[in-house]
Structure 1
Amino acid sequence: MNALTPDQRNHLIHLLEDASADADTRAVVLTATGRGFCAGADLRAGPPPGDRVPGDVARVIRNGAQRLIAAVLDCEKPVIAAVNGTAAGLGAHLAYACDLILAAESARFIEVFVRRGLVPDGGGAYLLPRLIGPQRAKELMFFGDALTAADAHRFGLVNRVVPDGELEKTARAWAERLAAGPTRSLALTKQLVNASLDSDRATAFTAEAAAQEINMTTADAGEGVAAFVQRRGPEFKGR
């Protein structure tokens, strides 16, 4: 079910960091093979409770699950989650951190922590209330019930639900549209939207003006304006 080991988690972080730095990478799709998208962190990978000292767990979470979620949120390219099956615990939060979420009809989202007597980690208590409000977030986290793809769409957690056989095709089509877009503009837009959730109006307006100032120095912005004036479609290069 694609439970994440520390090595796999670190590999994902490095891939996302590489995507940010690579000008030729213009969109990212995060998906999985098999029956599950991600069953969360592999709990067998850590030391047994008796071998821990105070501070160990917090350090592991900061350097592990939280760092992974931050890598998705901070990635300078648009990230699509194509959720092919069960997304539980950290796996659900990994999907929620993405910019766009496609879900197969068979997908399920589970805040599994309460079933293990654990507190939600991996950014869940930060992400969920911002996506669906505190009352629904607490309902999911308190009960740990499986949320179907259709209900996740109704709650506003996913952008679209598609038949299982069309998930890869739809994700590729969305990624191709994003990859043909103005990459730096999309990166700045992502930063503005994410930051706005923790900003007051004055701060958000200042950030917006600064982002537009920076964006106007890009070749794609020049191409977009020229295409408008010349009444033709723009050809963005991601620069």
Structure 2
Amino acid sequence: MDLDFEHILYEAKDGVGWITLNRPDRLNAFAPSMPLEIMAAVRAAGGDAAVRALAITGAGRGFCAGADLAGGAARPAEGERDAGRLLEIAYNPMIRAMRDCPKPIVALVNGPCAGAGMSLALACDIVIAAKSAVFLQAFCNIGLVPDAGSTWYLPRSAGRARALGMALLGDKVTAEEAADWGMIWRAVDDDALMGEGGEVLRKLANGPTRGLGLIRRAVHESFEQGLDRQLDLERDSQRIAGSTKDFAEGVTAFLEKRPPRFTGG
């Protein structure tokens, strides 16, 4: 299933839904409607049985430069004082759609990743970045607060001290530093990004889809609750996973000493 959008490209191929931010002349900076397009693509992929993993990347030489300030994406309209309105109607629904997606999402960061673009990347389950990529929390430079989930995801991945350093100082962080901090999964040579990313996506797309979805849900919810509730969630999730065809196939393949052939069921 391929979908038509104004600011992104979407293609489903070989079990992977590819979302490409497509404003290369603006380093893929967010136009006002772009978060809603991403949300729609994520929801469509989540409901498509043929799609078992999602990828998000950027066209051209950047991943996403954040909101398009030059294009007015973050500037209040004349007389408008509510700088949070666009978050409420566009960015936050996008992040929630990503959180609720039943399939793993991989960010392939091919260049500058700033502001809400960094939030978008951190909201993915796995982030692989080209070594030339940089990460930037630029909000302090214009008197705003990190948004689109950055104040939630960044401290949980990089830690409090590094999150505050990035947010308060607005310094750039290289992909290799981000990997060392645990903020992203891996930094790779630029010419290896799509190859290594493709391998990860193939592995996910060929994996036990429902089980992977339950894993990502359990990890997300672990930040919100204590040990007792998390143990109950693991129990309930295991009951669901244990009833799937992929679990039966995984056990059979293990006993027969062969690679499993998961179907996502």
Shared fold (TM-score greater than 0.5)? yes
1:45 to 73, 88, 102: 73
1:206 to 226, 229, 232: 232
Larger RCO of the pair (alpha carbons < 8 Å, separation 6+):
1
CA drift of 1:170 comes to 1.0
SS in 2 for 1:64: helix
Pair 1:237-2:263 in alignment = yes
SS in 2 for 1:57: coil
Partner residue in 1 for 2:165 = 139
2:55 to 2, 16, 29: 29
Q: In 2, Cα distance between the equivalents of 1:69 and 1:231?
A: 40
2:95, 2:148 within 8 Å by CA — same for their partners in 1? yes
> Which residue identity lines up with residue 192 of structure 1 in the other structure?
A
Over the residues paired in the alignment, what is the CA RMSD in angstroms?
1.4
SS in 2 for 1:37: coil
2:149 to 123, 127, 150: 123
Q: Deviations over 1:101-133 (max 9, x none)?
A: 111011000000001111111111111111122
SS in 2 for 1:115: helix
Partner residue in 1 for 2:184 = 158
2:128, 2:193 within 8 Å by CA — same for their partners in 1? yes
1:19, 1:76 within 8 Å by CA — same for their partners in 2? no
Pair 1:169-2:195 in alignment = yes
Q: In 1, Cα distance between the equivalents of 2:76 and 2:198?
A: 41
> Which residue identity lines up with residue 30 of structure 1 in the other structure?
I
Q: In 2, Cα distance between the equivalents of 1:158 and 1:179?
A: 20
CA drift of 1:49 comes to 5.1
2:126 to 100, 104, 107: 100
1:85, 1:104 within 8 Å by CA — same for their partners in 2? yes
Q: Deviations over 1:139-193 (max 9, x none)?
A: 1100000111111111111111111111111111110011110000000000001
Q: In 2, Cα distance between the equivalents of 1:207 and 1:238?
A: 21
TM-score after normalising by structure 2: 0.86
1:102, 1:161 within 8 Å by CA — same for their partners in 2? yes
2:95, 2:149 within 8 Å by CA — same for their partners in 1? yes
Q: In 2, Cα distance between the equivalents of 1:42 and 1:76?
A: 30
Unaligned runs of 5+ in 1: none
Pair 1:70-2:96 in alignment = yes
Q: In 2, Cα distance between the equivalents of 1:19 and 1:49?
A: 33
Pair 1:217-2:243 in alignment = yes
CA drift of 1:47 comes to 5.7
SS in 2 for 1:45: coil
Q: Deviations over 1:61-93 (max 9, x none)?
A: 122222222222222111110000000000011
SS in 1 for 2:224: coil
2:31, 2:73 within 8 Å by CA — same for their partners in 1? yes
1:84, 1:104 within 8 Å by CA — same for their partners in 2? yes
The number of residue pairs the alignment matches comes to 237
Alignment CA distance shift 1:172-1:57 (3 Å): same
Partner residue in 1 for 2:4 = none
Pair 1:179-2:185 in alignment = no
User: Which range moves more in the overlay, 2-11 or 206-215?
Assistant: 2-11
